[in-house]
Amino acid sequence: MRISVIGLGYLGAVHAAALAASGHEVVGVDVDPEKVDALALGKAPFYEPGFDDLLAEARRSGRLQVGTDVAEVAGSAVHFVCVGTPQSADSPAADLRFVDTAVDSLLPYLAPGDVVVGKSTVPVGTAARLADVVTAAAPGAVLAWNPEFLREGHAVDDTLHPDRIVYGLPAGETGERAAVVLDAVYAAPLAEGVPRIVADYPTAELVKVAANSFLATKISFINAMAELCEVAGGDVTQLADAIGHDVRIGRRFLNAGLGFGGGCLPKDIRAFTARADELGAGEAVAFLGEVDRINNRRRERMVELTAEVLGGSVAGRRVAVLGAAFKPESDDVRDSPALDVAARLDQAGADVVVTDPQAVPTARVRAPQLTYTEDVEEALAGADVVLVLTEWRQFRELDPVRVGELVAGRTVLDGRLALDRAGWEAAGWRYRALGRA
């Protein structure tokens, strides 16, 4: 099948390469020539484990073409819209400019029977609005909404072997035809037995934001328990282990620490709240405001804790920040808790040096005021305090004895509850963590 993919970010690029690898003829289009040039050379424009290999395979097969000219989509039977829906600059709502532009740009090339498939995370109601746009301009074409649940750092595996596939479709024969086309697109994962759920547009749109809201709530729940542990003298990791044994609760996504960041969870819960308000159902998701506040308090608390261990003020003190990415195995620094804490400490007058195995280049662009090094020993040299803010394996496996020889003061703050406390203490370190007495 010939398929087009509009938007070649984390979602679109991996989706396009995965479709090509599974045998489809794919044309990927993005407005950013740098991204397109990199992909054309078989180079991933971002760090994503396994993506280089998938991309190389797709390019070698000759089935993945990329370009900046949307006219290339002509002749494709299916058109995936994979552009971003960031938070608006002046409100918590999603900015739909890129989705609207992408759909508009496709209209001149649509033929009867074509399926336009939205994958971007959008406020409920968007698909119905865009379906009218598509059918008015291209009678016989149909819009489907097919949310994507991939995690950065696991994007390749999540794309090739998703937990579930959701189709949001119009009722009746038009929807049934679109389902047949989507089944052909996803023949490979469906053959593996991946569950397929066919729903109407609003349900499909809500599935995505409901899933991310649930995950964000789970993280903020455990971080709220961490706040209690700090004042009551408990240990949140043991608490998470203990409640996680209850299969109704489950241990996954109960890792306390600096909380969630990235390009999805924070902006999705805010956009969901904004949309629910518009629909007159704001009360139903008012708790998401609390989820967001708990999450932000973790960052504030980390800054406070740093001042506390330095005797009341961070001004002029050397702080080694290990981690800039919002999570390990990613170079994404969008709304990164680690980078946010580093910036707040810098603002408070600390002498901050940030290191990360992959995210130094992206962090430099987002927070150019900070000092960076790719060399972890250089970051640690002379530090009065060490903050571990992204749980990269490279940081979890640091030798506390060796690190102790590099720093000026042996105090470590474990922002992700990822270090072996006993090992660090045995090497003469003062260990402090969020959620541990």
For residue 189, the minimal CB distance to ligand UDX (Å) is 16
Nearer to ligand UDX, 114 or 391 (CB): 391
Query: Which range of residues in 122-130, 166-174, 256-264, 403-411 is near ligand UDX by CB under 6 A?
Result: 256-264
Binds ligand UDX by CB under 6 A, chosen from 81, 83, 178, 264: 264
Closest by CA to 158, choosing from 211, 87, 231, is: 211
Q: Does the footprint of ligand UDX cover residue 260 (CB under 6 A)?
A: yes
Looking up tokens 């203490």, which residue turns up?
Answer: 425
| DSSP 8-state secondary structure symbol assigned to residue 21 | H
For residue 316, the minimal CB distance to ligand UDX (Å) is 30
User: At CB < 8 A and 24+ separation, what contacts does 391-400 make?
Assistant: 391/257, 391/323, 391/327, 391/328, 391/416, 391/418, 392/322, 392/323, 392/325, 392/328, 392/329, 392/356, 392/357, 393/328, 394/357, 395/322, 395/323, 395/419, 396/420, 400/424, 400/426, 400/427, 400/429
For residue 42, the minimal CB distance to ligand UDX (Å) is 24
Nearer to ligand UDX, 21 or 215 (CB): 215
Q: Are strands 411-414 and 115-118 parallel, antiparallel or unpaired?
A: unpaired
Query: Which range of residues in 40-48, 67-75, 124-132, 261-269 is near ligand UDX by CB under 6 A?
Result: 261-269
Binds ligand UDX by CB under 6 A, chosen from 14, 26, 58, 265: 265
Judge whether 261 and 337 are in contact, CB under 8 Å: yes
Letters for 179-218 (x = contact with ligand UDX by CB under 6 A, - = none) are ---------------------------------x--x---
**Annotated catalytic residue: which of 264, 288, 342, 363?**
264
Binds ligand UDX by CB under 6 A, chosen from 40, 125, 149, 364: 149
Q: Does the footprint of ligand UDX cover residue 259 (CB under 6 A)?
A: yes
Closest by CA to 137, choosing from 158, 109, 176, 165, is: 109
Torsion (CA) 299, 305, 307, 308 in degrees, nearest 10: 160
Counting Cα atoms < 13 Å in the Cβ hemisphere of 8 gives 33
Q: Does the footprint of ligand UDX cover residue 150 (CB under 6 A)?
A: yes
Nearer to ligand UDX, 115 or 417 (CB): 417
Retrieve residue 256's tokens.
């306390």
Whether 229 is catalytic: no
The 3-state DSSP class for residue 43 equals coil
Nearer to ligand UDX, 55 or 389 (CB): 389
What separation, in Å, do the N-terminal and C-terminal C-alpha atoms of the chain show?
58
For ligand UDX, the binding residues in 324-343 under the rule CB under 6 A are: 326-327
Q: Which residues bind ligand UDX (CB under 6 A)?
A: 149-152, 212, 215, 219, 253-255, 257, 259-262, 264-265, 326-327
Active site residues: 264
